[in-house]
Amino acid sequence: MRYSQYFIPTVKETPSDAEVISHQLMLRAGMIRKLAAGVYNYLPLGLRSIRKVENIVREEMNRAGAIELLMPTVQPSELWQESGRWEQYGKELLRFKDRKDTEFCLGPTHEEVITDLVRREVKSYRQLPINLYQIQGKFRDEIRPRFGLMRGREFIMKDAYSFDVDEKAADTSYDKMYQAYRRIFERCGLRFRAVEADTGSIGGSYSHEFMVLAESGEDAIVSCTACDYAANVEKAEARQTGAADHAEARPLEKVATPDKKSIEDVAGFLDVHASALVKTLVLLADNEPIVVLLRGDHELNEIKLKNLLGCDLLEMAGDDVVLKVTGAPTGFAGPVGIGVKIIADLAVQGMKNFVTGANSKDLHLKNVNLERDFTASVFADIRNVVLGDSCPRCAGGTLEMWRGIEVGHVFKLGTKYSKAMKATYLDADGKEQIIFMGCYGIGIGRTVAACIEQNHDENGIIFPLPIAPFHCIISALNMKEEPVRDCSEAIYAQLAAAGVEVLLDDRDERPGFKFKDADLIGIPLRIVVGAKNLAEGKVELKDRKTGGVELLPVADAVEKVKTAVGEALKQ
């Protein structure tokens, strides 16, 4: 491709509405342009990277035995009614009506459509297992799209769905996908971790997320220092190690704590550590008030609590509800004498003589004790793990924390959709059985963005070769000089003939300008053809990642590029 004939609108200045580095660089490098909030044009350069990721995904899906198809973006409401998600899904599901007033939505995911297809076509155990996938645009009307392709409303996704005769077979399908995902992200040149995750609204019993490690990641993940346990904080558990406090229960005592509302305030005022306090939170679970107890230095994990309660809606109660439940303004709630259901974290179970609110303005209680002063109806793990907690799977390890970007997610769905939508088959005995399902997603655009988050410097993007828009750029310093032009054209032709994806910068621009653009768009290899070196028959070969420069005879440079590309693409 000739740069002068192509379309790469780079910009020198950082766009003011881009916050994270990948978003800034994708805009500056002319890869994407925003059309509306969370909706982007993919420009030629961006599209090339996206296609690279798609092709790696496609190859690995096919290798794992999955079969590609393509489903529509527009989906009829009836299927969603059947699965129950028309009501459940909420406002992220963009709904609309056609001219006949029939309801449709833009597909945020395709469990309903694929299950419908399979139930019509698959009748026998002989047709199973089958795994079908597509690479397609999705639409989710996110409350807050942000960070460019990282969280768009319209985005490109690979989604695969497996269908099996029973749970054991479904586990095999799941494992195949898990392994395929590892290969995909390895081939994309990403540093990532596979972590255990909550299944969220997709439902199902078990899942792993694939997290690209990056400071700007929206998710917190933990991993064990000793074994291979890793999990999203939403899901992560810790071994309960705090030895039970066997201290004598001291008499309950009221203390005045004027205007001390937060844990830090009270701990500071009473000169005790936050872990000697018990935090009392009032929440509304499906509009029923409940009280939750946590050790003062711990945080509530709403997902764990939601899963425990099995409720649809869980929210912090407003000041009015707090006043009604505790009889005091927010900041002085406590479990003693309270009239609603109390759920306590496991860490509270071993505590003695702790401090809580007194359900009365400007008062707290000291030496509060379980059983004697109040009873909790449930003890459960409902807190977020913290740095240094003990690993739940091995003896010696502790938990480390990371930030990650979720680029892939694999789910064991079980029979959630097949049951609701009656996707069944006949087994060898002619008996009707429910199909076991799994679903597996990869955010294609997000993978490119995550890659840039992980691979950049002050001059721009540093693409790993397998997903770079071009393998090599030839910076022809002055195309008007005949030797430079002839040599650049010759290298261009030779590389292209060898299957190297090469961009010839033949623009009438100054050298510095071409170098800046080449660095910005992140092409891994650069050949600089300049009059001075060419007089000695040499050109410069520069590595974008290391910055290393070699002065080589033309033929050697060409060979080296061919070899480097061949190496990088070897699977």
Residues that bind RNA (CB under 7 A): 10-17, 19, 28, 34, 36-38, 90, 92, 108-110, 138, 140, 142-147, 151, 157, 159, 200-202, 218, 302, 314-315, 406, 409, 441-443, 459, 477-478, 480, 510-513, 515-520, 528, 530-533, 540, 542, 549
Identity of the residue, 12 or 168, whose beta carbon is nearer to RNA in the bound complex: 12
Identity of the residue, 338 or 406, whose beta carbon is nearer to RNA in the bound complex: 406
**Minimum Å distance from CB 419 to RNA?**
19
Euclidean distance between CA atoms 185 and 68, whole angstroms:
19
Identity of the residue, 239 or 403, whose beta carbon is nearer to RNA in the bound complex: 403
| The two structure tokens encoding residue 125 | 């155990």
**Minimum Å distance from CB 515 to RNA?**
3
Identity of the residue, 17 or 98, whose beta carbon is nearer to RNA in the bound complex: 17
Q: What are the C-alpha distances in Å from 435 to residues 65, 79, 109, 409?
A: 18, 17, 19, 21
Rounded (5°) CA angle 485-488-490: 105
Name the 3-class secondary structure at 157. strand
CB 435 within 8 A of CB 425: yes
Identity of the residue, 433 or 533, whose beta carbon is nearer to RNA in the bound complex: 533
**Minimum Å distance from CB 111 to RNA?**
8
DSSP summary character for residue 14: P
Euclidean distance between CA atoms 203 and 281, whole angstroms:
27
Does the bond joining 129 to the residue before it have cis omega, within 30 degrees of 0? yes
Rounded (5°) CA angle 175-150-458: 115
Identity of the residue, 151 or 260, whose beta carbon is nearer to RNA in the bound complex: 151
**Minimum Å distance from CB 195 to RNA?**
12
Euclidean distance between CA atoms 471 and 561, whole angstroms:
9
**Minimum Å distance from CB 567 to RNA?**
23
**Minimum Å distance from CB 167 to RNA?**
21
What is the DSSP annotation of 190-222? --EEEEE---GGG--SEEEEEEEE-TT-SEEEE
**Minimum Å distance from CB 119 to RNA?**
20
CB 263 within 8 A of CB 296: yes
Show the DSSP H helices in 41-188 as ranges.
Answer: 44-63, 77-83, 85-88, 111-121, 167-187
Identity of the residue, 143 or 395, whose beta carbon is nearer to RNA in the bound complex: 143
Which residue type occupies 379?
A: F
**Minimum Å distance from CB 366 to RNA?**
30
**Minimum Å distance from CB 365 to RNA?**
28
Nearest Cα neighbor of 52 from 513, 503, 451 is: 451
| The two structure tokens encoding residue 150 | 């990282």
CB 367 within 8 A of CB 251: yes
CB 181 within 8 A of CB 56: no
Euclidean distance between CA atoms 147 and 156, whole angstroms:
15
Identity of the residue, 37 or 67, whose beta carbon is nearer to RNA in the bound complex: 37
Name the 3-class secondary structure at 342. strand
Identity of the residue, 111 or 345, whose beta carbon is nearer to RNA in the bound complex: 111
| The two structure tokens encoding residue 384 | 């977020």
**Minimum Å distance from CB 233 to RNA?**
11
Euclidean distance between CA atoms 17 and 9, whole angstroms:
18
Identity of the residue, 467 or 521, whose beta carbon is nearer to RNA in the bound complex: 521
Identity of the residue, 162 or 359, whose beta carbon is nearer to RNA in the bound complex: 162
**Minimum Å distance from CB 249 to RNA?**
36
**Minimum Å distance from CB 477 to RNA?**
5
| The two structure tokens encoding residue 91 | 């406002």
Tracing tokens 């064991």 back to the chain, one arrives at 412
Identity of the residue, 301 or 390, whose beta carbon is nearer to RNA in the bound complex: 301
Euclidean distance between CA atoms 506 and 525, whole angstroms:
16
